[in-house]
Structure 1
Amino acid sequence: MKKVTTLIAVVALSFISGFSAMAQEDLSKKLLPMDPKVKTGVLPNGLKYYILKNAEPKNRAQLRLMVKAGSVLENDEQQGLAHFMEHMNFNGTKNFPKNALVDFLQKSGVRFGADLNAYTGFDETVYMLPVPTDSIEVFKKGIQILEDWAHNATLDPAEIDKERGVVLEESRTGKGAESRMRDKFLPVILKNSQYAKRLPIGKDDILKNFKYDVLKQFHQDFYRPNLEAVAVVGDVDVAMVEKMIIEKFSGIQNPANEKPRTKYRIELTGGTDVAIITDPEQPNTIVQVIGKQEKRKDVTYKDRRDGIIRSLYNQMLSARIQELTQKADPPFQFGFAGYSGFLGNLDAFTSAVVVKGGNVEKGLKAILEEVARAKKFGFNASELERVKTQYMVGQEQAFKEKDKTDSESLIEGLVGAFLEDENLTSTEFGYEFAKQYLAGIKLEEVNAMGNLLITDDNRAVIVLAPEKDKATLPSEAQIKEWLNTAGKDATAYIDQAVTKPLIAKLPTGSKVIATKQVPELGLTEFTFANGVKAVLKPTDFKNDEILISGYSFGGSNLYPDKDADNARLASTVANISGLGEFSTINLRKLLTGKVARVNPFITGTSENINGESSPKDLETALQLLYSYFTQPRFDDEVIKGFMANQRDALANQQKTLTPEKVYNDSLSAILSNYATRNLPMTVERMEKIDANRAFQIYKERFADASDFTFFFVGNFKNESIKPLLEKYLGALPSTKRKETYKDLGIRPPKGKVEKTLYKGTEPKARVTMVWTGDFDGSTESETQVEALAEVLEIKLIEKLREEESGVYGVGVSGITGKIPAKRYNFRIAFGCAPENVEKLVNRTLAEIQKVQEKGAEQTDIDKFKVETKRQTEVQLRDNGFWLNYLQAQYQNGDDLKYILKEEEALKKVTVESTKAAAKKYFADNMVKVIMLPEKK
């Protein structure tokens, strides 16, 4: 025994000595390592590759092609063509002519837009492709697609001309107050650099008229292997994938006379630039102060440690700013400050506020003072310990989920690593690094970070405001004066400690009196003595996750119109007030280091709870749940502040009616047949809300839990958590009242209703068509509605986008519901040029009529079936899916085992069934709302 003790002491001394030596070493000379599980390589032509085996989700892989070429590399004739090139890679490559690529992937279960996608930035273009790996042929085709994207675009002139309209429609969707103001402030922020002149969407006149060779030149210059990388993450054989990549990509040649890949800079020239910009369609006033600095990289151990310090600094500052909104008269509607990446070669410390009541001085000074307070006095040791604890919890969570991390998040890390010329460290490394270095971060060095991050030069101040407020806005000189005097009267922040427990006297609860099993789904249902039910589904999908939800029928529909707005606000009042003796601020402090979140909310037909926790913090989550029933809190000051901010936001919206608000409000009002309680909120109605009555309604809704059913899905064992559920769920208040929901009879209007609105100055139109009616409520009909929506979306994208070149996207949704009444809702929506509205509406109706007369095409039905099958395969191993599915089945009284019969239901989707469904659902009740620009 003595020898063992001595050995332990020697090992301990050795470890301490080693740690001390490491602490003294120069961390700036130690490079961060690439995750050793990632197979990396560089082909002789310069193309890089990254391969990582990852089992979640099973039988799936995420593929990426990254190109270090974006809009910043365009010459004057090519503005917008980096992005146009991205589009063309979906419109014909050597091995996938015309639209064959999208068609093949849809037949393999990959959805266009939702799964298959790409984006173009200033410095890069990234192509995203998820593929199944249980079919080697489909996976090989996926690698072939990456190769085609890398260099095999055909750039057929006919396809280029067809795609002009699509890209112009994408450009059109972004036009409005935001884009008009952006075009004015970017040259200020970006100092007239190349970045300021090369927005990825480009210029409409160039998109309309560029010559084919100009696009081909961009492709030839920059789609080359020494600017490209391939990443594959998923359920794959790494050696096999590496062999495929070497075979497919080694033969690609770089151009003989390479065009230099210029690295453009945004120069730091000192001083403070101010841009005050107004627009008739800007609804509120936003002020941003952007302090630019050279980008800080994440290459060495020192970089990583400094990055942690900046993260801690941001979190502490954010917590303080959040507290400013917890007052009866908050200085702004929303505020933010922190350090982050910016653009190109720069990072930035940004302070931003959404101004309240048009008072720029009050809002800007408030955020500047809070930033100055942190810089001048620093943070407290107690604040630092809290954020350290929270940071470590995040690292521990990631570590626990290291074998359950989704491939998509992992591959995005590899994309960033390639684009930033950095290494992607492993989850294990991040966890061990935090364990080794976090504790040694001292308060003094965190506080010293303020002087590095918050500086007085290289600043840009941007004020974005409504045109009507132009005369009352401050001058550039006033703004600079506020910046220069910010924080001169600031005092040190006082941090209040929280020592009490959330629940003063823990409940004893009640026992489970009945148990029911659904073995096919792995479900157990407990009924407690107080009437509460709990449905449990233990899973191994995540190691550190338990999801929670609950409902009971009732809701705000039980209250008359005079109380409707009070009822609408009821759960908000409870959520923003904290719990028991704890304000929201102190509750957040109390929960430091805990992974537990619970929120109550009320719908028209039910009271609800949702939340999540780690297995170790389930008791904390249950205490929160119990407290929302038994000790909700009314914080008068916080509620007054919230109401004041809401009134101010509504006043701004009513004074400056944006096209988006006019359109959405009009559509919503028409679809509810102008029912009073469903109309958009106004200042006048907000003034009449009684917060005390709202809180009373909340307490009424959560006074009885006997009709609540709760759902728990995640990593737990039923018998292990049963005592906790008995203790807290079994103790919830129970009056055994008999209650259900109420159908208020609010329905869309019958017959055909058409309305055209005129709002906005940009040449853009919006179209929404909605068909509604009664629904038989069967699960078979639900599947038919889902199928009809999908095949129509496939067809309308093909016709309106690919053939007509008239839209960027078109959305089709088919929704069914049983509560409060069995109803269906089909919605088709798109944006387009005003002159194309009638043509595209008619084409849409013609496509619907074709399905009504002949049924959907079998190829589209097959695409729907394989997409659904592939989607379900992933969903069946997702906690969130099961939580939502189980609650929906319980609420609707549907067959719990329906998910096991999906394949049988899909067999009933046929050409004839889609024909019958189209006739049934696209019938007489149709609302069509169109918005056009204001008439000149």
Structure 2
Amino acid sequence: MTPQLSMGQNLATEKIPLDPSVKIGKLKNGLTYYIRKNKEPENRAELRLVIKAGSILETDQQQGLAHFMEHMNFNGTKNFPKNELVNFLQKTGVRFGADLNAYTSFDETVYMLPIPTDSAGLLDKGLQVLEDWSHDALLENSEIEKERGVVLEESRLGRGAQQRMRDQYLKRILNNSRYADRLPIGKDSILKSFKPEVLKSFYKDWYRPDLMAVIAVGDFDPAEVEKMIQDKFGSMTPPAQIKERIDYKIKLDGQNNTAIVTDPEYPQYVLQLIYKLPGQKELTLLDAKNHMTQSLYNAMIGQRIQELTQKPNPPFLYGSSQYGEFLGGLDSYTSIALAKDAASLPGAIAAVVQENVRVQKFGFTQAELDRAKQDFMTSAEQQFKEKDKTKSASHVQAYIDHFLHDNAFMGAEGFYQFAQKHLGSITLEEVNALAKSYITDSNRSVVLMAPEKGKEQLPTEEQIQEIVSSAGKDVTAYVDDALDAPLLPKEPVAGKVVSEKVISKAKITELVLSNGVKVLLKPTDFKNDEILIKATGKGGYSLFPNDRETGMFTSYLVQSAGVGPYNQTQLQKFLAGKTAQGGPYVNELSEGINGRTSPKDLETTLSLIYAYFTEPRKDAELVAGMLANQKAYLENMQKTLTPEKIFGDSLNAVLTNHDPRRAPLKPENIDKVDLDKAMTIYNDRFSDASDFVFTIVGAFDIQQIKPMLEKYLGGLPSTDRDDSYKHPNIFPPAGRIEKTVYKGLEPKSRVSMVFSGTYDYSPENNIQLEALQEALQIKLIESLREEESGVYGVGVSQSTDKFPTGHYRISVQFGCGPENVEKLVKRTMEEIGKIKTNGADPQDLEKFKAETRRKLEVATKTNGFWINYIDTNTFIGDDLDELYRQDELLSSVTVKSSEAAAKKYFNEKNYIKVVLMPEKK
């Protein structure tokens, strides 16, 4: 079934027909539910509990407690006391944070739970979790006390230049509304001292069925799920006294305001220009058509502003203009300009305003609108083609928006039909009229954020208002430079397939073409309209050791100039309406192409790839402007070194043994970038395709696409050279190194602990290292977060290198209060010591195995997984059938093997610790 769109519609009065594949119901107690059967991914369901209550409803004494309540739902419920909820879900393969999560905003709280459906009772248990969250949180006083530290650490993470500046301008742009005083994180003073009864009061008042929705999308029987929801949530009763759920708004007062805010730790010059407008809901078919019109406008103004950055002397590093939702019942038209320095700030502001005024005065051109419609229709068509291959997680947001904001949803098929019928009727006059309604002389907020240094060079509020008011007075109409020419000056001379064989259990077919190009093909049915392409050759700019800086920028400089007869702007216009994305890269050790396309646009994409090999462009004037902007940006970053950058650079320096080839870019490095050398590097690396391996994954038939592969890939230049890279061999140094960096105004610390060393690279060792990483991650969340209440999050990561010789690295990173650094480092070493002495907790290894299996089950049914798996394994020479050894490898992970791995890889003789502490007062 599809939404029925009547032929003689009155768009203004006819409501948007909702996608009939979604069952929407309401229980007698007022709880709403949405149920949809969806088989992608198989044996999985996405569950959501949505509460129409957030920080906006807090009393003065409750600021921060809507978010605190979200935390407490993971700390013990009726059926899952203490941390049993996280423990149970991890055993089913659901990862805490990555899968199981929640968020609190001003107006809502949303809990997210993906759950397997292929094991008996798991779906029922998942819905039981949602029911517990809805009204059965235990809220034990001891757990509340422990969670204070965790939430305060989350608050600490958000502190810094951005937060300090936001606190200065927020009341202005939010018109002194309640939203300015109800940030979800709340106030530290309240988080430290609130009485448990105040939290319980919020839970009782606002977690009630009439403000709740349960959403279930996945591979299950909808009738069974509906009965489960009715059984579990039907007995919920609202509180005896119902508090009014006030729908708070931001009032438009007609005032304009400007805020200039600076901070000693902010390195950039950013202007935001916000026109606040009445909010628009999407209820009727006319609303849906108007939304399409807005999308076309956003696409066209976005294209115009992007074109400014593709000109020889760009007026800003980044710019944008876009209409969208704001807050408190308002929408906004927002323009942003990132200037390279204080001197260029007035010009950057004027440039972005001028583009808006240009549209306001002269409108868009018909050619621009036609291209935008082509792109829009291609996107709608792709969604329609993928309607049976769309992941469950992609569906749920539409249902959340419907429950919270009344925004209707018609589904991919209904929307495609609607777009087919009504997109063509959107006129140029309708789109052009939007600029006049968006850009007004009232309800305008201007926010300028800049470094404290050089504050005196900034324009004043009056000067900014004058720029905004006067920019564009002498503006002229837009000139469309679209080009109509063949992408290729002459057709490639096709080669031939000289060998063909299946090389893996994964049914990967290897073609060798007559020019030496190797093509690895994996047809899939994961998507109906997607083909991914990746080409990789060995070498990169490692073969040009004296031109490192130029090498790093080579593909950026070449691609920014366009390809063949088209500059970058013209190329984007040429490809309008096509799914033909493809571009070159040059890395340190490799060069290649990344591409994404659809079956109907595969030939266009292959011709684009051929052009990048044979027809690169050079634009000295454009490159000069781009490099000048890049240098100015780096100069800003150097003048205002943020704590995060200082810490990151210090850690990088220690881990790379201060090798200059790994030093962060400085302004003087840009002076060494040479366009002629870049063209030499590029032409050298792409002059011989015989050492390239092309991997193509997706919706295609091998025999059908063979002629195209022979023509475009078989026609690539070939010199049959034997190439490889020159590995820099830069790894963490041996020995113990401890370093403390003092930087930052806030009481914030960062800790990085790294163990490293030589490594016997093999699948057998890799799985042990992965298990060790996950076992430690689980234990540190339990110990540092749940027991010590000292961190919000902790990350454990591991990486391995096969060449030039084996190396491994396992890292622990967390943020905390400066006073807790040593205690938490000590606790981390204690947890590592336990694994070295006794091996990992058997339950944690069970969780690792479940997570690994579940993650791979889903990943192996995506094109993205296979394109990277095939390309990476081919590049480093790993077995393409390694995947099929998963059960064997996982069975080798035991408590005893984890003990041996811990003793081997947590080698305290090769230990690096870098700590960020605030500046000494």
Deviations 1:448-503 (A, max 9, x none): 11111221210110011111121111111111112221211111001123210111
The one-letter code sitting in structure 1 at the alignment partner of 2:162 is: E
The one-letter code sitting in structure 1 at the alignment partner of 2:670 is: M
- Alignment partner for residue 612 of structure 2, among 610, 616, 628? 628
2:558 matched to which residue of 1?
574
2:426 matched to which residue of 1?
441
Q: Given the superposition, is the C-alpha separation of residues 21 and 170 from structure 1 closer, same or farther in structure 2, using an over 3 Å criterion?
A: closer
2:258 matched to which residue of 1?
274
- Alignment partner for residue 153 of structure 1, among 137, 149, 152? 137
Query: d(CA) in 1 for partners of 2:88 and 2:490?
Result: 62
1:867 matched to which residue of 2?
851
Query: d(CA) in 1 for partners of 2:228 and 2:61?
Result: 37
Query: d(CA) in 1 for partners of 2:369 and 2:596?
Result: 25
Secondary structure of the equivalent of 2:326?
Answer: strand
Deviates most, 262-271 or 159-168: 262-271
The one-letter code sitting in structure 1 at the alignment partner of 2:168 is: K
- Alignment partner for residue 643 of structure 2, among 638, 654, 659? 659
- 1:542 correspondence with 2:527: yes
Query: d(CA) in 2 for partners of 1:866 and 1:406?
Result: 21
- 1:237 correspondence with 2:225: no
Query: d(CA) in 2 for partners of 1:144 and 1:238?
Result: 17
1:643 matched to which residue of 2?
627
Q: Does the Cα contact within 8 Å between 2:25 and 2:32 map onto a contact in 1?
A: yes
The one-letter code sitting in structure 2 at the alignment partner of 1:554 is: G
1:591 matched to which residue of 2?
575
Q: Does the Cα contact within 8 Å between 1:601 and 1:607 map onto a contact in 2?
A: yes
Deviates most, 516-525 or 187-196: 516-525
- 1:699 correspondence with 2:683: yes
Q: Give the Å deviation of 1:21.
A: 6.9
Query: d(CA) in 1 for partners of 2:5 and 2:593?
Result: 46
The one-letter code sitting in structure 2 at the alignment partner of 1:454 is: I
Q: For residues 874-889 of structure 1, what are the structure 2 equivalents within 5 Å?
A: 874-889=858-873
Q: Does the Cα contact within 8 Å between 1:284 and 1:466 map onto a contact in 2?
A: yes
Q: Does the Cα contact within 8 Å between 1:284 and 1:465 map onto a contact in 2?
A: yes
- Alignment partner for residue 53 of structure 1, among 28, 37, 49? 37
- Alignment partner for residue 110 of structure 2, among 118, 126, 143? 126
- 1:799 correspondence with 2:777: no
Query: d(CA) in 1 for partners of 2:804 and 2:362?
Result: 56
Q: Given the superposition, is the C-alpha separation of residues 21 and 81 from structure 1 closer, same or farther in structure 2, using an over 3 Å criterion?
A: closer
2:901 matched to which residue of 1?
917
Query: d(CA) in 2 for partners of 1:795 and 1:310?
Result: 49
- 1:728 correspondence with 2:712: yes
- Alignment partner for residue 806 of structure 2, among 815, 818, 822? 822
Secondary structure of the equivalent of 2:564?
Answer: coil
- Alignment partner for residue 475 of structure 1, among 434, 437, 460? 460
Q: Given the superposition, is the C-alpha separation of residues 851 and 519 from structure 1 closer, same or farther in structure 2, using an over 3 Å criterion?
A: closer
Secondary structure of the equivalent of 2:797?
Answer: strand
Q: Given the superposition, is the C-alpha separation of residues 521 and 21 from structure 1 closer, same or farther in structure 2, using an over 3 Å criterion?
A: closer
Q: Given the superposition, is the C-alpha separation of residues 19 and 234 from structure 1 closer, same or farther in structure 2, using an over 3 Å criterion?
A: closer
Q: Given the superposition, is the C-alpha separation of residues 489 and 685 from structure 1 closer, same or farther in structure 2, using an over 3 Å criterion?
A: same
Secondary structure of the equivalent of 1:520?
Answer: coil
2:769 matched to which residue of 1?
785
Query: d(CA) in 1 for partners of 2:208 and 2:402?
Result: 19
- Alignment partner for residue 794 of structure 2, among 800, 810, 822? 810
The one-letter code sitting in structure 1 at the alignment partner of 2:572 is: R
Deviations 1:695-752 (A, max 9, x none): 2111111111111111001010110111100001101111111111212232211101
The one-letter code sitting in structure 2 at the alignment partner of 1:736 is: D
Query: d(CA) in 2 for partners of 1:711 and 1:326?
Result: 31
Q: Does the Cα contact within 8 Å between 2:135 and 2:207 map onto a contact in 1?
A: yes
- Alignment partner for residue 508 of structure 1, among 493, 496, 516? 493
1:565 matched to which residue of 2?
549
Q: Give the Å deviation of 1:20.
A: 12
2:62 matched to which residue of 1?
78
Deviates most, 870-879 or 211-220: 870-879
Query: d(CA) in 2 for partners of 1:99 and 1:484?
Result: 57
Deviations 1:749-808 (A, max 9, x none): 110111100001000000001111111111111111111111110010000000000000
Q: Give the Å deviation of 1:19.
A: 11
Q: Does the Cα contact within 8 Å between 1:225 and 1:252 map onto a contact in 2?
A: yes
1:385 matched to which residue of 2?
370
2:597 matched to which residue of 1?
613
Secondary structure of the equivalent of 1:468?
Answer: coil
Deviations 1:649-671 (A, max 9, x none): 10100000001111111111211
Q: Does the Cα contact within 8 Å between 1:294 and 1:345 map onto a contact in 2?
A: yes
- 1:739 correspondence with 2:727: no
Q: Give the Å deviation of 1:519.
A: 5.6
- Alignment partner for residue 99 of structure 1, among 83, 104, 113? 83
Q: Does the Cα contact within 8 Å between 2:504 and 2:880 map onto a contact in 1?
A: no
Q: Does the Cα contact within 8 Å between 2:37 and 2:222 map onto a contact in 1?
A: yes
Query: d(CA) in 1 for partners of 2:436 and 2:401?
Result: 28
Q: Does the Cα contact within 8 Å between 2:523 and 2:701 map onto a contact in 1?
A: yes
Query: d(CA) in 2 for partners of 1:695 and 1:909?
Result: 50
- 1:370 correspondence with 2:355: yes
- 1:180 correspondence with 2:158: no
Secondary structure of the equivalent of 1:27?
Answer: coil
Q: Give the Å deviation of 1:413.
A: 1.5
Q: Does the Cα contact within 8 Å between 1:577 and 1:584 map onto a contact in 2?
A: yes
Query: d(CA) in 2 for partners of 1:268 and 1:630?
Result: 57
Query: d(CA) in 1 for partners of 2:28 and 2:315?
Result: 59
Q: Give the Å deviation of 1:137.
A: 1.1
Q: Give the Å deviation of 1:605.
A: 1.4
Query: d(CA) in 2 for partners of 1:741 and 1:516?
Result: 28
Secondary structure of the equivalent of 2:519?
Answer: strand
Query: d(CA) in 2 for partners of 1:205 and 1:227?
Result: 29
Query: d(CA) in 1 for partners of 2:340 and 2:633?
Result: 8
The percentage of counterpart residues that share the same residue type is: 54
Query: d(CA) in 2 for partners of 1:145 and 1:92?
Result: 11
Q: Give the Å deviation of 1:26.
A: 2.9
- 1:422 correspondence with 2:414: no
In the alignment, structure 2 segments of 5+ residues that lack a partner are none
- 1:494 correspondence with 2:479: yes
Query: d(CA) in 1 for partners of 2:619 and 2:602?
Result: 27
- 1:688 correspondence with 2:677: no
Query: d(CA) in 2 for partners of 1:268 and 1:856?
Result: 59
1:398 matched to which residue of 2?
383
Q: Does the Cα contact within 8 Å between 1:326 and 1:637 map onto a contact in 2?
A: no
- 1:712 correspondence with 2:724: no
Q: Given the superposition, is the C-alpha separation of residues 765 and 519 from structure 1 closer, same or farther in structure 2, using an over 3 Å criterion?
A: closer
1:223 matched to which residue of 2?
207
- Alignment partner for residue 539 of structure 2, among 554, 576, 586? 554
- Alignment partner for residue 316 of structure 1, among 297, 300, 303? 300
Q: Give the Å deviation of 1:327.
A: 2.0
Q: For residues 9-24 of structure 1, what are the structure 2 equivalents within 5 Å?
A: 22=8
Deviations 1:674-707 (A, max 9, x none): 1111100001111222122122111111111111
1:206 matched to which residue of 2?
190
Query: d(CA) in 2 for partners of 1:678 and 1:384?
Result: 46
The one-letter code sitting in structure 2 at the alignment partner of 1:593 is: G
The one-letter code sitting in structure 2 at the alignment partner of 1:161 is: E
Query: d(CA) in 1 for partners of 2:63 and 2:584?
Result: 50
Q: Give the Å deviation of 1:363.
A: 0.7
In the alignment, structure 1 segments of 5+ residues that lack a partner are 1-17
Query: d(CA) in 1 for partners of 2:431 and 2:873?
Result: 51
Query: d(CA) in 2 for partners of 1:517 and 1:135?
Result: 35
Q: Does the Cα contact within 8 Å between 1:629 and 1:732 map onto a contact in 2?
A: yes
The one-letter code sitting in structure 2 at the alignment partner of 1:712 is: I
Query: d(CA) in 1 for partners of 2:180 and 2:483?
Result: 49
1:4 matched to which residue of 2?
none
The one-letter code sitting in structure 1 at the alignment partner of 2:553 is: L
Query: d(CA) in 1 for partners of 2:505 and 2:671?
Result: 53
Residue-pair matches, total: 916
Query: d(CA) in 2 for partners of 1:205 and 1:568?
Result: 48
Q: Given the superposition, is the C-alpha separation of residues 910 and 392 from structure 1 closer, same or farther in structure 2, using an over 3 Å criterion?
A: same
Query: d(CA) in 2 for partners of 1:210 and 1:801?
Result: 20
Query: d(CA) in 2 for partners of 1:628 and 1:770?
Result: 41
Query: d(CA) in 1 for partners of 2:648 and 2:482?
Result: 46
Query: d(CA) in 2 for partners of 1:743 and 1:306?
Result: 55
Secondary structure of the equivalent of 2:455?
Answer: helix
